[in-house]
Structure 1
């Protein structure tokens, strides 16, 4: 049957079982939106306030479900407004398909109205991208885009479609189910490698596991726990690995690195074998490379060979299907009944437990812990800065994908858009966005989206009237010179919420916290902004000073 390019886009989305897309229309994608109107049954379109919000919402949808998120924007500024969201997904290995419109193929390169080279712009921040100038290539390209985004190490793919292509017709052949590309993860390890890895683990005196975001993406968190339980190995996580291990798991020691717990950083600093599973050894984890795990052999299990030896030299590299690698190692190990090392780490965990003095002030730790107690199965998203670390530290996580945050790019303005995507993906669950007032200013326009679609997301605004992490660094490392970090200006966030049709609540005292949360959680079709007024000099602790090792924490 003959279809227009616009109809082919819709058919290809349906073939991929896409049920939700996020976007904002414009001239170059009008044909696609017209086809969506006429033939888009079963595909829900969410009209966001800004294209960046669409990208973040698609990202949040993908992180919560494991399925690819889809966003759409017009050419020129519409496409460039997606760039930050695409980069966010790229840094955190999130499957995303971004569809953009382009000027007609005959006008490319003529500085036409709303023309930008979006494939050139996004080349460094996509797994792959395409410019489609021939309708006969459109269906194949769309199918490859989804295959690339979801196969192997996931990531974003952009499909830029010329406007004339969306109007042209061609014969459409339904999807035959075949893969177009050979992108499956390649196993680069041998049976001997598994033998050596198992021997190293079996004979280590002080092993530690580091679980990264890759354990969640690959769905192997249960195997990480199995390895830890069988061999009595303490487990720490990266920020992206938060929620991979239940907070209540006895051998879980918390975050590692710049804002790591004292017990995690001490254990890694003294361990003789560090087993990295699905983490990329970012600078926020290793800090001073010379002081990182100085006594340890390093084992790195990862799907992507490009990560091996990139930041840290590895003694036991294992790349390929991480599920098969983990199972191959575990089956070779003999169970450990008792571990003096694990007992020592548990003593440190108790000794170094982070205790916040109760001075009667409204504290972020108290707020987040109350949310954790009152809605333990909520999905948590964050903005970036102090709120992001507090949420990782103080909420008790129970299942993978429960904590959703921009880890690699550190995108302020991420949380509200992501919360919208998560709430649409998980309509029966509560979604809490722990936000700072600085970040929330960057995306508060998406409250209009949440209100219109009756999404009961809760924005827990930890409002300290400043760019909190910037101010903390200026206080600690820049002689207290608070250059351009104080937000001594509007808006009134309660009035802002009400202006959008949401519910706004202000909390200034501890005794107001629980009633405010109760009111927020009672809503089933209205977003709520709770403006928690906290002290301007609240700090994230522990912290590793710049240039120092992870064993040189400041924790008071």
Structure 2
């Protein structure tokens, strides 16, 4: 059966099980919009700015575990979307962005609303495509979804000239795609996993350090099982919050420059560090030359080989899907007759409790002025810890991370890598659509909220009951700090 390129795009999205497409129309994508109007397989969400379209698709993915989809027109539609694309790229979020392009014969001629979308987005996508032949369209979209969600996830852009959306070809959507140049490793090396197991059993001052890869890799249960089996302390990065229950006593709090004293001290003084789905970011370790200078050994599990030994040299690198690797590691530890040194572990926990006793997050509770920390604590109490919390970027983001106790993964949605102000409200939209019956709260500040405040109109149009907690301190607080 012959279909137009626009019909093929819509059919491909339906085949992928897409629930929502977040977009904004324009001349180069009108053919696609005409076909969207005719179908009922997925819903289109009309945002008020292309940046918000990608942010909302990004948050939908974070909250649901599915690949988000955004649709933008050529030229300014693409350039408006770049901040959203870069935000998803820095946090490894699977989003497929479909962009319109000027007709194929006009490419390179400075046509109206022409931008080199592939060139502009190359630094901030996992991959991108320019489709010049309608016969390549279906397989290209299949590749885009495969690349976005496999290995280390990330955004993929498919740029489609307007004439390609009008041309016709036979439609056939492949079940799978194979790419000779792209074959991510998912199973960890058995010998390295065995080394890691022995190193963990030999540890005197162990530490488990988890990042966003644990949440995105759906490996939270495995981290909990590992920590409980060995009774080792756990810390999360900003992106990893919820990967281990924050109310559990073995959790030392968030790590890094905005983290707890006990988490940072334990990281600096441990003798064996297990890093899972984390990338040793500069906000976590500071100067690599000064990080954990005591004699220590590091095990690093990550699906992206380029993240291992990138900033800190590790002793046991394990490339693979974190969930699969942790399953193998747990099997070995459970089968082993050796157990951790209980005496050394008790001494280590005694030291950790001394660090914890400093109560580094205490604040003045007697003040007549409501403290932002108190607001976040009350939000946690009122929602009983069950809300999905999005945040913008700034002091309010760190207070939300520190004082809302996230016990479940995919409940904390924020921009960790790029630090994009303005994400909070469109994030809340995406999360609310992913979980229509859930409580969704956007913790923001008076500077950040204004950057995408036009999306209040989108919330009203689609009756999205998101709650906005605006911590107005009349400053760009983190910049001032």
Matched, 1:64 2:63: yes
SS of aligned partner of 2:98: strand
- Could you tell me which residue of structure 2 aligns to residue 484 of structure 1? none
The Cα offsets for residues 260-290 of structure 1, whole Å up to 9 and x where unpaired, read as 1000011111111111100001100110222
Residue by residue over 1:395-425, the C-alpha shift from the partner in whole angstroms, topping out at 9 and shown as x without a partner, is: 0112001111000000001110110000001
Please, which runs of 5 or more residues in structure 2 have no aligned partner?
A: none
In 2, distance between residues paired with 1:239 and 1:211?
10
Q: Tell me, in whole angstroms, the C-alpha distance in 2 between the residues paired with 1:332 and 1:178.
A: 33
| SS of equivalent residue, structure 2 residue 332 | coil
Q: Is the 8 A contact 1:251 1:342 kept in 2?
A: no
Give a deviation string over 1:106-134, Cα, whole Å, max 9, x none.
10010000000011010111111011111
Alignment partners' CA distance in 1, 2:10 and 2:192:
46
Question: For 1:331, what is the secondary structure of its paired residue?
Answer: helix
Distance between the aligned counterparts of 1:469 and 1:264, measured in 2?
22
Contact 1:188 1:318 in 2 (8 A): no
Shift of 1:301: 0.7
1:323 deviation in Å?
Answer: 2.0
Name 1:448's counterpart in structure 2. Answer: 457
Q: Does 1:356 align with 2:363?
A: yes
Question: Does the 8 Å CA contact 1:305/1:319 hold for their aligned counterparts?
Answer: yes
- TM-score (ref. length: structure 1): 0.83
Cα deviation code 1:15-47 (max 9, x no counterpart): 000010100000000000011112x21210000
1:462 counterpart (471, 474, 477): 471
Per the alignment, residue 5 of structure 1 pairs with: 5
Corresponding residue of 1:342? 349
Q: Contact between 1:433 and 1:457, CA under 8 Å: does it hold in 2?
A: yes
Aligned residue among 399, 407, 410 for 1:401? 410
- Deviation for aligned residue 1:192: 2.3
* 8 Å CA contact retained: 1:194, 1:328: yes
Equivalent pairs counted in the alignment come to 470
CA RMSD between the two structures: 1.4
Q: What's the offset of the Cα at 1:336?
A: 4.4
TM score, norm. by length of structure 2: 0.95
> Distance in 2 between the 1:460 and 1:121 partners?
35
1:22-171 aligned within 5 A: 22-38=22-38, 40-171=39-170
Bigger shift: residues 329-338 or 43-52: 329-338
Name the residue aligned to 2:189: 190
In the TM superposition, residue 144 of structure 1 has moved relative to its aligned partner by 0.8
What stretches of structure 1 of length at least 5 have no aligned partner? 473-556
Match of residue 521 from structure 1: none
SS of 1:82's equivalent in the other structure is: helix
Secondary structure of 1:153's counterpart equals: coil
Shift of 1:179: 2.6
CA contact (8 A) 2:147 2:156 kept: yes
Q: Which of 172, 175, 185 is equivalent to 1:177?
A: 175
Matched, 1:439 2:448: yes
State how far apart, in whole Å, the 2-side matches of 1:191 and 1:60 are: 35
Contact (CA 8 Å) 1:251, 1:346: kept in 2 or not? no
| SS state at 1:299 partner | strand
